[in-house]
Amino acid sequence: MHPVRKFSLALALLGAGTLAQADEVQVAVAANFTAPMKEMAVAFEKATGHKVNAAYGATGKFYAQIQNGAPFEVLLAADDRTPTKLVAEGAAVKGTQFTYAIGTLVLWSARPGFVDDQGKVLAKGAFEKIAIANPKTAPYGAAALQVLTGLELLDQVAPKFVTGENIAQTFQFVSTGNAELGFVALSQIIKDGKQIEGSAWPVPDKLHEPIRQDAVVLAKGKGKPAAEALMAFLKGEEARAVITGYGYGI
C-alpha cells in the first residue's frame, strides 16, 4: 500500500476508535448554572468527544427525581447539602463530591437605577412585586429568605412575593417586568465581569449561608467514562475560567 494511503487509513481507524469510545453523560444542572454549563458543554465535547445531555431546574426537584429513578448520572447542585444527602442515602458515589462554584446572590431589577447599591430599596418598599425562587426547592430562594429575615424585612416584603419554580423562572419574572425586582444569581446578569443591564445590589455574604454548589457522580453514573470525564473537566483550568467569568467564586 502507498505510504500516504496507509497513513490516511491509520488516521481514519484512529478517529473511528475515538468516536466508538465517545459517550453521552446525563446531567442534572441547577438552573442558576445554565449559561456556564451550556458554554462548557461545547468545550467539553471538543476536548473529550463526550456529549452532555443536560436538564436544568431546581435542585430540590432534581433530588426527588433522582430518588424516583431518574436517569441522571451527574448532579451539579445549587447547594452542598443535596449531594451530601444523596451520598449518605446511597444514591450518589462516595468520594466524588466537590464544590465546583460558590454562588453570589443579588437583588436585581431590569430598570437602571431602581435598585441602589446598598439594597435600601427593600426597606423603602416602593414596589408592588418582588421575585424569589421557591425556598423549599431552590437554594438561592432559601438564601433570599435568610437575607430578608436578617434585615427584619420578611413580614413587610413577603406579601409582595412572586415565587419562581426555580432561579431561571425568577429571573424571567424580573427581566420581563412582571416583578420590579427580585433575588437572582449573579451569574444570570453578569458575563466576563460585566453587568449586562439594569441595577443590582450584590448581597453581602454575611447575610446568608454560603451558597456552595457541589457536583457529585450519581449511582447511575458510577464507572461511566463520560461522567468521570465531566467531573475532571469541571476541575480544570478551562472550566474554571468560564465559571469565574460568570461571577462565581471557586
Domain ranges of the chain: 9-102+211-245, 104-207
Answer yes or no: is pLDDT of 225 > 90: yes
Architecture of domain 9-102+211-245: 3-Layer(aba) Sandwich (3.40)
Answer yes or no: is pLDDT of 69 > 90: yes
pTM: 0.86
Range 17-43 average pLDDT:
87
Q: Can you spell out the DSSP letters for 112-148?
A: TTTS-TT-THHHH---S-EEEE-TTT-HHHHHHHHHH
- The number of beta carbons lying within 10 Å of the beta carbon of residue 187 is 23
Range 6-16 average pLDDT:
41
Distance, in Å, from the CA atom of 8 to the CA atom of 6, rounded to the nearest integer, reads 5
Distance, in Å, from the CA atom of 199 to the CA atom of 218, rounded to the nearest integer, reads 38
Decide whether 9-102+211-245 matches 104-207 in CATH topology.
Answer: yes
Q: Exposed, middle or buried by CB within 10 Å (0-12, 13-18, 19+), for 213? A: buried
Residue given cell 431518574 in the structure block: 70
**pLDDT value at residue 192:** 72
Range 89-101 average pLDDT:
98
Q: How far are the Cα atoms of 32, 67, 172 from residue 139, in angstroms, in the given order?
A: 10, 19, 17
Comparison of pLDDT for 107 and 18, the residue scoring more: 107
Residue given cell 459517550 in the structure block: 23
Q: How confident is the model at residue 1 (pLDDT cuts 50, 70, 90)?
A: low
Q: Which helix (H) or strand (E) holds 219?
A: none
| CATH 2.60.40.420 is held by the domain 104-207 | no
Query: What are 3's three cell numbers?
Result: 505510504
Answer yes or no: is pLDDT of 13 > 50: no
Distance, in Å, from the CA atom of 92 to the CA atom of 72, rounded to the nearest integer, reads 10
**pLDDT value at residue 22:** 80
**pLDDT value at residue 21:** 66
**pLDDT value at residue 10:** 42
Answer yes or no: is pLDDT of 16 > 70: no
**pLDDT value at residue 196:** 79
Residues 174-221: pLDDT tens digits? Answer: 999 999 999 999 999 987 778 878 999 999 999 999 999 999 999 999
Q: Which backbone phi and psi does 22 adopt, to 5 degrees?
A: -65, 145
**pLDDT value at residue 9:** 41
**pLDDT value at residue 116:** 97
Range 147-155 average pLDDT:
98
**pLDDT value at residue 12:** 40
Q: How far are the Cα atoms of 57, 62, 87, 236 from residue 70, in angstroms, in the given order?
A: 14, 9, 16, 28
**pLDDT value at residue 59:** 96
Distance, in Å, from the CA atom of 63 to the CA atom of 68, rounded to the nearest integer, reads 9
Distance, in Å, from the CA atom of 40 to the CA atom of 60, rounded to the nearest integer, reads 23
